[in-house]
Every structure is written in structure tokens, then in C-alpha cells.
A = this chain, B = another copy of it.
Amino acid sequence: MTDAHSADADGEGDAEAEADADFGAVELDFGETGRIPAIAQDADTGDVLMLAYVTPEAVERTRETGLAHYYSRSREELWQKGSTSGHVQHVREVRADCDGDALLYLVEQEGGACHTGYESCFYRTLDGEVVGEKAFDPDDVYE
């Protein structure tokens, strides 16, 4: 009995997976779905702002523009965070995890990350207690 994490140990060995992509020195494993989760973290406060999914194209666009791009599973398309709201994320650094199947975007967030108006999408505990701060009024931002 080992931890799952040690079981699929040596991440770099997953090179033969379905969808791989080379970005700089780290090989990413996009697996069968062609997308992996990306966590956006406020580079200054350390707050975890949101989790969304990225395709190789989304990562490429993020690196080219310096603005966080993700892939919408419901709309099946690339999107730039803040394209309507103006609440863009300036990406200071992108980190990969040990297995290359998750990313961490260190960002400077304009406005708030969450469409509900909170700074972070993780504004509630599982018990429903609100622990986050409001950054804006969504009625002013979305029509």
C-alpha cells in the first residue's frame, strides 16, 4: 500500500500518454480528455482564486499574451479570463506539478476572480459559511 502519488511516481515517465505537449523543459500530460486543471493563485496574497481547465492551446495563449486563458468544457472553447468582465489575470509565473497533469498560475487579478463578485471562487466552506470577501457587484459587471 503506497500513496497513489508514489504509485504513479516518476511523473516524467508518462511521456507516451494520449496528448502530450512540450512547454519549455517540462512535459505536460493532457491525458485522454486533452485538458488538465489549472489553479489560479493570487501572486501577492497567496489566495487560491479559482480552478479551471486548460488545453495545450490555452497554455500557449497564456504564455504568448501573459493573460490567463482556459478552456470551457461546457462551451467547448478557449476563453480568456476577464474578456467580458475586464477582470483579467496577469500571469506572473506558470508552474507544473510533479506528474505534469496540473498547473498553477500565479496571477495578478484585476477586480475579482469569481462571477459571483467574490475575490475567490472558494468563498464558502463546505458548511456554507461565507469566508470570502466581495470584490465587486456582479450586477454592475454582467448584463
Q: Which residues of A contact B (CB under 8 A)?
A: 1-9, 23-26, 37, 39, 41, 45-48, 50-52, 59, 63, 70, 72-75, 77, 79, 81-85, 93-99, 102-104, 114-116, 118, 121-128, 131, 142
Smallest CB gap from A114: residue in B: B98
Are the CB atoms of B4 and A74 closer together than 8 Å? yes
Interchain nearest-CB distance for A22 vs B (Å) = 10
Q: Which DSSP category, helix, strand, loop or mixed, fits chain A's interface?
A: loop
Contacts A/B (CB < 8 Å), 27 sampled: A3-B81, A3-B83, A3-B84, A5-B52, A5-B121, A6-B84, A6-B142, A7-B75, A8-B74, A9-B115, A9-B142, A23-B126, A24-B125, A25-B126, A26-B124, A26-B126, A37-B37, A41-B48, A46-B46, A51-B97, A51-B102, A59-B126, A95-B126, A96-B126, A97-B121, A98-B118, A98-B123
Interchain nearest-CB distance for A44 vs B (Å) = 10
Smallest CB gap from A5: residue in B: B115
Are the CB atoms of A24 and B97 closer together than 8 Å? no
Are the CB atoms of A50 and B85 closer together than 8 Å? no
With a cutoff of 8 Å between Cβ atoms, the chain B residues found around residue A77 in the complex are 4
Smallest CB gap from A28: residue in B: B126
Are the CB atoms of A48 and B126 closer together than 8 Å? no
Are the CB atoms of A127 and B4 closer together than 8 Å? no
